[in-house]
Amino acid sequence: MPPTRPLLAALALLLPAMAAAAPPMLLTPERVWTGEGASRAGWAVLVADGKVKAVGPAADIAVPPDAERIALPGKTLIPGLMDLHSHVLLHPYNETSWDDQVLKESVEYRVLLAGRHAEAQLRSGFTTLRDLGTEGAMYADVAIKKAIDTGVIPGPRLFVATRAIVASSSYGPNVRAYRPDMHLPEGAQEVTGVDEVVKAVREQAARGADWIKVYADYRTGPDGSSHATFSQEELNALVRAAHDSGRKVAAHASTDEGMRRSVLAGADTIEHGYGGSAATFALMAARKVAYFPTLAAPEATSEYFQKHVRGGPPTPSMQAAARAFALARQAGVTIGLGSDVGVFAHGGSAREAEWMVRLGMTPVEVLRAATVVNAGVLGREQSLGRIAPGFVADLVALDGDPSADIGALRNVRFVMKEGVPFLR
Ligand SMILES: [Zn+2]
Q: Which CATH class is domain 4-80+385-423?
A: mainly beta
Closest among 394, 378, 301 to 339, alpha carbons compared: 301
Q: How far apart are CA 63 and CA 132, in angstroms?
A: 41
Q: How far apart are the first and last CA of the chain?
A: 32
Q: Indicate whether this model's pTM tops 0.75.
A: yes
Question: What pairs with residue 290 in β-bridges?
Answer: 269
- Angle CA 125–341–178, to nearest 5: 155
Could you tell me the distance, in angstroms and rounded to a whole number, from the CA of residue 25 to the centre of ligand 1?
Answer: 37
Closest among 91, 46, 251 to 165, alpha carbons compared: 251
Domain 81-377 part of CATH 3.20.20.70: no
* Alpha helices by DSSP H, 208-339: 232-244, 256-265, 278-286, 296-305, 316-331
Could you tell me the distance, in angstroms and rounded to a whole number, from the CA of residue 336 to the centre of ligand 1?
Answer: 14
Could you tell me the distance, in angstroms and rounded to a whole number, from the CA of residue 232 to the centre of ligand 1?
Answer: 22
Could you tell me the distance, in angstroms and rounded to a whole number, from the CA of residue 215 to the centre of ligand 1?
Answer: 10
Could you tell me the distance, in angstroms and rounded to a whole number, from the CA of residue 252 to the centre of ligand 1?
Answer: 8
Could you tell me the distance, in angstroms and rounded to a whole number, from the CA of residue 272 to the centre of ligand 1?
Answer: 8
Reported as type and span, the H/E element at residue 217 is strand 217-218
Could you tell me the distance, in angstroms and rounded to a whole number, from the CA of residue 297 to the centre of ligand 1?
Answer: 9
Could you tell me the distance, in angstroms and rounded to a whole number, from the CA of residue 353 to the centre of ligand 1?
Answer: 17
| pLDDT, position 15 | 53
What residue segments make up the domains of the chain, in order of their start?
4-80+385-423, 81-377
| pLDDT, position 17 | 46
| pLDDT, position 22 | 81
Could you tell me the distance, in angstroms and rounded to a whole number, from the CA of residue 339 to the centre of ligand 1?
Answer: 8
Could you tell me the distance, in angstroms and rounded to a whole number, from the CA of residue 301 to the centre of ligand 1?
Answer: 13
Residues in contact with 402: Cβ distance below 8 Å, sequence separation at least 6, in sequence order: 33, 76, 78, 363, 367, 408, 409
Could you tell me the distance, in angstroms and rounded to a whole number, from the CA of residue 112 to the centre of ligand 1?
Answer: 20
Sequential pLDDT tens for the chain (424 residues): 554 554 544 454 455 545 456 899 999 999 999 999 899 999 999 999 999 999 999 999 999 999 999 999 999 999 999 999 999 999 999 999 999 999 999 999 999 999 999 999 999 999 999 999 999 999 999 999 999 999 999 999 999 999 999 999 999 999 999 999 999 999 999 999 999 999 999 999 999 999 999 999 999 999 999 999 999 999 999 999 999 999 999 999 999 999 999 999 999 999 999 999 999 999 999 999 999 999 999 999 999 999 999 999 999 999 999 999 999 999 999 999 999 999 999 999 999 999 999 999 999 999 999 999 999 999 999 999 999 999 999 999 999 999 999 999 999 999 999 999 998 9
Tell me if domain 4-80+385-423 and domain 81-377 are identical in fold. Answer: no
Reported as type and span, the H/E element at residue 374 is helix 374-377
Closest among 68, 75, 80, 79 to 42, alpha carbons compared: 75
Reported as type and span, the H/E element at residue 166 is strand 165-167
Could you tell me the distance, in angstroms and rounded to a whole number, from the CA of residue 396 to the centre of ligand 1?
Answer: 25
Q: How far apart are CA 155 and CA 149, in angstroms?
A: 8
